[in-house]
Every structure is written in structure tokens, then in C-alpha cells.
Amino acid sequence: MSTTISASIIGASGYSGAELMKILLRHKQVKIENLFANSSVGKRVTDLYPWFGGRVDSVYEQYSVDAACTSDIVFVALPSGEAMNMVPELLERGKRVIDLGGDFRFKDVSLYEKYYKHEHKAKNILHQAVFGLPEWNRQQIRSASLVANPGCYATSAILPLAPVLKEGIVQSHGISISSLSGVSGAGRSASVDLSFTEVNESVKAYKVGVHQHAPEIKIALEAISGTTVSLTFVPHLLPITRGIYTSIYAPLAKEVTPGEVLSAFRKHYGSEPFIRISETAIPEIRNVSFTNFLDIGFRIDVDNNQLIILSVIDNLIKGAAGQAVQNMNIMFGFNETEGLLS
């Protein structure tokens, strides 16, 4: 297919924005149009990311809806709470939008306001948003105007849990999810807590039981499995730059063999281009670094009647920019792996 579209990025100066640029530069059917930033307006991309030297000569621009509307697709990679100020107008003007932040992931405004701790200002378009998990919502994504790209932790937990919940292998209550993330997940920001010296040679849990991805995981799993789900989610900060390791402990609903668990995964993901499942191998973050893959491994703990599932992603790719491009590929009828396999 030789169609070419143009794309703009709002919030192009952050880590997800930069990662989107890298992927789109490789994409044969996309031309990057505008890069919008905020405090970095007027700077060259290479001032913030010299890595792009010799490849990108662009300057970050002040956002304007008119400039954004010259593109076929607009990616929004802003901190939560900011996308909702821009997206309504973009939709009104007929643009298709993929939001990498959290503003459109919940239909329930009160839940959003509880976890994100600010008012939602674009409630009336929430119903239009499609949760951008290609493996489960491919059909709706195809025709969506607004895709809410899933959170990084959420992606790493929903995808491994969904098949075994849907197939009745594990119970929908008493699930524990222990996730470990690299520091890039916290974005590009000045903070003592994220300084090298404070993070290096250490680990800490944070937002224990109150992280905004917990309800995102719960709601997505409920939608997929059709049952009420309750789970405990604990994120931890690790001294690595990229990657998420998610270890899931789910009570078994029945006796199963490893082969049956594998079958459940294969049934749903057997033809998925970006999910790799193994009955024997244990996932490692480095196996998915700089890729759009999610790897799944598992073990059955008969003594304690639990299924242990382990999953890994690159938080900036399958957990953000890569999944966004995967969604874009679906929306525009491109090959779903275009730009995502090198």
C-alpha cells in the first residue's frame, strides 16, 4: 500500500513523544508534520535529543489547533489533565486523535477524578474514546476518532490476565500484581526523587494501592471477562531506564495443566504479531527492550493453588509510543507491524 499520511505530535519533547518520532521516522507511510511542545518551543529537537542529529532538523512549535489540523492524525503525549483541553476541538474539526495519556481511558468521570485528582473538562467526548488495546479492541479502533492508548503498567497486566480470566482458569478476585518499571516511565522531569543518586542501587514501591493504572486494569479486565474483578496492584521503581516487569499471582479457578494455560493464551493471542508466549521460558526485560513485543511466561503453583504469570514490555514502546503506532496502523488500514519491527 502506498498511501501516505501526515502526523503531528502534541507534547513531542517528552520521552514518549521522542519515541514516537523514532518510530514514525521508520514508518514508510507517515510523514511527521508538526512537533508541538511547551517550555521547549523554539528549541531544535536535537537540542533536547542530540541522538536525532543528522536525521531530524525540526524545531518545537507552539501548539495551535490550526497547525495540528493540517495532519491526518494527531498524537497527544502530554501529562494527564492537559489532553482534555485540546482533544474536543480536534475531534470537532474532524481529526483522528490518539491520546497517550490518561484523560480518556475511563468512562466513569468520578473514577477519573478520584485517581487523577483533578476535574475532567471534556466529559462529553468520553463516550467516543476507544481503549486502544489492539488485541481486544481491534474492530473499534479501526473506525475510532479518539483512541485512548492504554497505560504502560496497564498494558503489561491486562494482556497476560485477560485470556486466563476469560477462559475461567483463574478467579476474578484475590489477584495480586507486582510491577517493576524503569525510570523513563516517570517522564522527563527535574526532581530529586528521580535523580540518579536517589534511584541507583535501590528499589521502592510507590502509590501502593492508589495508582491510577489499578482501576484501568480492573475495568479493562471486567469488560473483557464480563465479571467483576478485584485486584491489588503495586508498582515499584527500578534503577533501569526502560522496561516493565509484571508478576501476577492469581488464584486458580480449577485444576489446570500447563498445556491448558498455554492453549488459553494461544486461543486469544495465537495470531497476534506482538505477543510471544512460552510454556517454559521466563520473560526478561531485555528480550523486549526497544521492541513492541509483550512476552508472557507462566507457572502453576499447585501447592498454593495459584497461577503465576510473568510479563515484560518496553514501557516506552508497547507501553506507549509503539502501541500508539500499532493503533494508528489499524486506524489507517496499514500493515499492523509497519514501523514496529526494526
Q: Which of 7, 10, 154, 180 binds its own copies (CB under 8 A)?
A: 180
CA–CA distance, 340 with 293 (Å, rounded to integer):
9
From 21, 152, 224, 320, the catalytic residue: 152
Nine-digit cell string for 25: 521516522
Q: Which of 121, 208, 267, 270 binds its own copies (CB under 8 A)?
A: 208
CA–CA distance, 76 with 9 (Å, rounded to integer):
6
Site for its own copies in 289-318 (CB under 8 A): 289-291, 293, 295, 297, 299-301, 303-306, 308, 310, 312
Per-residue interface string for the shown chain with its own copies, residues 216-255, x marking contact by CB under 8 A: --------------xxx-x-x-xxxxxx-x-x-x-x----
| Helix, strand, or coil (residue 297) | strand
Nine-digit cell string for 217: 486494569
Site for its own copies in 93-152 (CB under 8 A): none
Site for its own copies in 157-176 (CB under 8 A): 173-176
CB 11 within 8 A of CB 76: yes
Q: Which residues are within 8 A (CB) of 182 and not within 5 positions of it... i.e. 6 or more apart?
A: 238, 240, 241, 242, 243, 244, 285, 315
Per-residue interface string for the shown chain with its own copies, residues 69-88, x marking contact by CB under 8 A: --------------------
Q: Which of 110, 191, 257, 271 binds its own copies (CB under 8 A)?
A: 191
Q: Does 184 bind its own copies (CB under 8 A)?
A: yes
Q: Does 199 bind its own copies (CB under 8 A)?
A: yes
Q: Nearest 5°: CA angle at 243, between 35 and 200?
A: 100
Q: Which of 7, 4, 14, 5 is nearest to 320 (CA)?
A: 14
CA–CA distance, 241 with 330 (Å, rounded to integer):
29
Verify whether residue 69 is a known catalytic residue. Answer: no
Q: Does 38 bind its own copies (CB under 8 A)?
A: no
Q: Does 59 bind its own copies (CB under 8 A)?
A: no
Q: Which is closer to its own copies, CB of 66 or CB of 303? A: 303
Q: Which of 70, 139, 195, 335 binds its own copies (CB under 8 A)?
A: 195
Adjacent-strand bridge partners of 148 = 99, 131
Adjacent-strand bridge partners of 35 = 9
Q: Does 270 bind its own copies (CB under 8 A)?
A: no
Please list the active-site residues. 152
